[in-house]
Structures are given as structure tokens and as C-alpha cells.
Amino acid sequence: MKLHLRLALAAGIAAATSVLAVLGVAYYVVCRRAESVVGEIGRWQSEFGWPFAAVAAGGLVLAAGFGWVAAGASLRPLSTLTQTAGRIAVTRDLGLRITVARDDEIGRLAASFNTMLDALERSAKAQKRLVADASHELRTPLTAVRTNAELLVRGDVPEGERAEVGRAVVSGLEELTHLVADLVELARDEEPAALVEEVRLDELVLRQVDRAAAHWPSTTFSCAVEPTPVRGVADRLARAVANLLDNAAKYGPARGQVEVSLRSGVLEVRDHGPGIPAADLPYVFDRFYRAPGARARPGSGLGLAIVRQVVDSHGGTVLASSATGGGTLVRLVLPVGS
């Protein structure tokens, strides 16, 4: 049975029960008051019984009718929601919304449905942008690797240049490997609750500083940290910190210094490089964004985008700014656990 009909019947039965109860009590009182007229009781019962029954039946019909109308008005938003969901399933148009014109449970349900559609639309647009940007970024290294590989296969490369072309192929494959790994990292969604645990951020930062110092031997890393427990996923936080350190070392001067500090959940990484132009600062955490001065350097432009994604998923913030005296300062803030 449809919900509309069930609600109408329930309203009708409830109203009719009330009417019958009132009429029954009235009928009983009238008959009791007429007990003194013994000879007239039968006639009174005959005369009063049928009108009471007719009024009760009419009340039942009217209650059912009003219940049907009221149920239809109450369920109209649910019908609209169902139709909208059906249209979205057929057309895949996540831009459709339900007009919310009431402030009750059904109105709140419609508002929640619209909120869900907002989130789905943002997610779908982000996925489309990621795929479009990734296809564009993959095209250049793939073309270079394919061209060099074809030259080697055809034997069109002079003997003295084969080693150089081979190194170019390996370098291109390494770039593709890093790019694919970064894309996989960006494709990850919110952190699974089962992986979230208490992490000593200070110990994690020290480990990543040691790793960066080994990977960038010409760069000096100075580190000052204090005990900082946070709630999060250790490997994801490690990836974010590593990206910050690598970015600072890569864009800092040769034999330069990277200063790292961690206090009260605030991680600061400062380099002494040329810095980032003020016009580019708002975009450095965007996917595939590379400032004009950094486009000649190797990299995919995804390192800082991964940092922002990790920080956002942990409920934190990250901001890049020009450091006093030159260079770039990146400040990463995470909620501190107990």
C-alpha cells in the first residue's frame, strides 16, 4: 500500500474513532436521562440511533477525505525529491536541486538532499579537472619517451649519442613514475577512520628531515621541534612533510639552508631561495600549478597540492608566504591531540 494511502487511512481512522467515541458517550447520556420515561425508551433509541450512526459514517468519510488531502500536501516534497533523484540517475545532471519552502522534517530532508548533491557535484568537477590536467601533463613526457625509444629501436641514433638518448628515456620514465604516484596520491579520498591514530608529529618530522638531508646533501637542514601529538594517518602526514622539505631544498640556493621548526602543532619550513612572487602565492597549492620561474626545473607541480590535500583531510591549514629577508616560509597547522 502506498504511503499516501496509508497516511490518509490512518488520519481517517483516528478522526472517526474520536467521532464515534464522542457520539457514543452522547448517545449513552441521552438514553440514561430518558430512563424515567420507561415507555418511551425504545422509541428514543430508535429515533436517536440512526442519526448518530449516520453522523458517525459521515464523519468517517470526511475525515478520510481531509486525511487524503493533508497526506498529499505533506508528501508532495517527497514526490519531488523522488522525481529529482530519478532525473539525476537518468541525465547524470548533478546541478539539479529541490526548492525548499518549508521548515519541517520533510523540508530538512530536502535541504540535506541538496547538500549531498552539492558535495557530489564538487567531487565530480574535481575528478574531471584532475583527469583533464593529468592527461595534459602526461602527454609531454610520454611523447618524449616514445620518440627516444623509437629512435633507439630504429637505430637512427649515432653510436656516440645512444647512451645519452638511453639516459633520456630512463629520466622520462622516472618522471612518469613520480607523476603517476602523485596522481594516485591525489586521487585518495578522506582518511579511513580505521587508519587514524595518535602520531608523534615531532618524531615524524625528525625522520623526514634525516631523509631529506640524505637526499639533498648540499643543503643544510636545521631543526627545532617540541613534542607534538596529533591524530592522523602517519604515512600521509609523512608524505606532506617530505614534500615540504623537498620543495624547500629544490628551490633554495646551492649549499643553502632550510630551517624547520615545530611548536604547538605549527610546522614551519623556511628556505632562503629567490622566493615566490606575490602574484603566485595564492596558487602554489593548486594542482599542476608552477610559477614561471619554476617551470624549467623538474617536477610535476603536484607536491604542494598533495600537502594541501593531506592537511585538509586532517582538519588543518597550510599557507605559503614570503619570508623576512628573502625566501619562502610555509606554515602548516594541525589540531594538536591530547
Catalytic residues: 136
Alpha-carbon distance values, 47 to 26, 29, 40, 54, 151 (Å): 14, 15, 11, 12, 111
Q: Do 132 and 160 contact (CB within 8 A), yes or no?
A: no
| Matching residue, cell 620561474 | 293
Q: Hey, CA dihedral for 307, 311, 245, 320, is it positive or negative?
A: positive
- Residue pair 314/208 in contact (Cβ under 8 Å)? The answer is no
* Separation between Cα atoms, residue 98 and residue 82, nearest integer Å: 10
Cell triple for residue 90?
Answer: 537518468
Q: How many CB atoms lie within 10 A of CB 1?
A: 6
- CA distances in angstroms from 237 to 193, 241, 314, 331, listed in the order given: 15, 6, 9, 14
Count the neighbouring beta carbons within 10 Å of the beta carbon of residue 20.
17
Query: Can you tell me the distance from the alpha carbon of 141 to that of 173, in angstroms, rounded to the nearest whole number?
Result: 8
Q: What is the DSSP string of 277-330?
A: -TTTGGGTTSTT---GGGTTSS--S-HHHHHHHHHHHTT-EEEEEEPTTSSEEE
Query: What are residue 319's phi and psi, to 5 degrees?
Result: -145, 140
Element (H, E) at 197: strand 197-200
Burial class (CB in 10 A: 0-12, 13-18, 19+), 110: buried
Cell numbers linked to 182: 602523485
